[in-house]
Every structure is written in C-alpha cells, then in structure tokens.
Amino acid sequence: MNYCIIDDEPIAHRIIEGYCEKLSYLEKKGNCYDAFETMQFMNDNSIDLIFLDINMPKLSGFNLLKTMQQLPKVIVTSAYKEFALEGYELNISDYLLKPFSFQRFLKAMNKVMDNQNSTFSPSPEQKKVSFFLKGDKKMHQIHTDDILFIEAYGNYSKVFLVEEMIICHEKISSLEALLPAPGFLRVHKSFIIAANKINVMEGNRIKIGEYFVPIGQTYKHNLKQLFRDE
C-alpha cells in the first residue's frame, strides 16, 4: 500500500515514518509539507493512503480533501480534537489525536485494511484480510485465512491458527465484531469458528483439524446458512 505524509511539521513525518516502517505492507511514496505541494504530488503519483494534518499554511487539510475528485484512504493526524466530527463527515478512515502511540496507530491501520470499500487494489499476495492483536507483550499480525477458531478465555481470547495459538488481550465479543461475516460463525458462547475450516459436524460438536468445538443450543441457527437445502 503506497502512502504519503502531509504535514507542515518535519517531526510528525519522522514519527509516522517510524511507525510505518514496522508494517511490511506499507511503502512510502513521498512527503508533502503543504496543500499545494500535495496537489502536484498527487497528480504525478498513485497513492492508496495519506496521513493528513489539518492545520497547515495556505490551505487546511480538510479544504485540501474537498478539492480532490478521487480520494485515497485518509488517516487524519491532528493536535485538535474539535475537528474530528467534520473529518468523519468527509469519510476519513480514522482520526489520530497527536501525540498518538504505535498501538493507536495500529488500530487506525486495521480500519483501513478491513474496509471492504477500500480504493486500494491489493495484489493476490495481499488480498488476505489482516489485523493486529496484542499477546505475550507483542503485536501479532493475524491473517483471517489462518484462523481455525477462537475460544473465550475470561477477559482474553485464545486464537487458534494453522500453525500456532495466541492468547490475546481481547474479549471474544470484540473479535466477533471484527471478523468478517459469513466466513466466521459464533457457534457457542465461548467459540467462534472459521466456516471454511470445518472438517466434520456430528451431533453437538464440530471437528476442525485435530480439535473438537461444541455447538451451543442457542447458536445452532447460525449454522443453517451453511446448508443450501435448509
């Protein structure tokens, strides 16, 4: 994903660049320091995502957006929280209030990557939807294609992947909202499964690889969409 930073403060560029360097799917295409420089740059380059400051000389960041006919994905980076509502009315992906942490930056990137209406056209290698989860004092990039199932674990969750299991700092309800339907189904109060990873269903349980996942009585209706005859 090609990105550009638009901000009149050089230190802001350095901070965002440092965060972006930690994500392998991001590639910097340029740095712009005012709106007019940005207009020329956008005419000459193909950009998927911009990090945009609001308070800039000559023309504000929001006024710049209003001049663009085709908008890339936009993450606003501003020290002024009072402009957030106007930003969302302009269909931005997220609004980061300076100074923001790397963890908050990751949440913004998750929104961009999970948005199915993205103007970014990924290559076949990049089409896997992914997001970041915190576990074991690390940030793990999770590709949805690698998920077998998720198990509730108190205020945490166990995410069972093709090659490993991660205990993450998210409740199962939060992960349910994050995962795309109908590919993932809640089949029990403590379990979410990847529908395409089911091997066998028998009685009140589902076999996924070497694991057996229970089917809760109140969640059986969620499985009906898997059967064309029902």
Q: Which pLDDT tens digit goes with each residue over 83-114?
A: 788 777 788 889 999 999 998 999 899 888 76
141 and 121 belong to one structural domain: no
- The total number of structural domains in the chain stands at 2
DSSP for 160-225, written as a single string: EESS-EEEESS-HHHHHHHSPTTTEEEEETTEEEEGGG--EEETTEEEETTEEEE--GGGGGGGGG
Cis before 57? omega within 30: no
12 and 120 belong to one structural domain: yes
Return d(Cα 63, Cα 57) in angstroms, integer: 12
Of 125, 142, 161, which residue sits at a domain end? 125
Three-state secondary-structure class, residue 91: coil
Q: Model-level pTM? A: 0.52
Q: Are the C-beta atoms of 138 and 74 separated by less than 8 Å?
A: no
Domain membership of residue 94 as a residue range: 2-125
116 and 8 belong to one structural domain: yes
175 and 81 belong to one structural domain: no
18 and 121 belong to one structural domain: yes
54 and 79 belong to one structural domain: yes
Q: Which pLDDT tens digit goes with each residue over 35-83?
A: 888 988 988 888 999 999 998 877 888 888 888 877 889 999 999 888 7
191 and 145 belong to one structural domain: yes
Amino acid at 82: E
Other beta carbons within 10 angstroms of residue 228's beta carbon come to 5
Q: Which pLDDT tens digit goes with each residue over 133-167?
A: 888 878 888 888 899 999 999 889 999 999 999 99
Q: Which pLDDT tens digit goes with each residue over 175-192?
A: 887 777 678 889 999 999
Return d(Cα 186, Cα 192) in angstroms, integer: 4
16 and 99 belong to one structural domain: yes
12 and 44 belong to one structural domain: yes
CATH of residue 60's domain is: 3.40.50.2300
97 and 137 belong to one structural domain: no
CATH of residue 195's domain is: 2.40.50.1020
Of 91, 125, 159, which residue sits at a domain end? 125
Segment holding 172, helix H or strand E: helix 172-178
In the block, which residue shows the tokens 């991660």?
A: 166
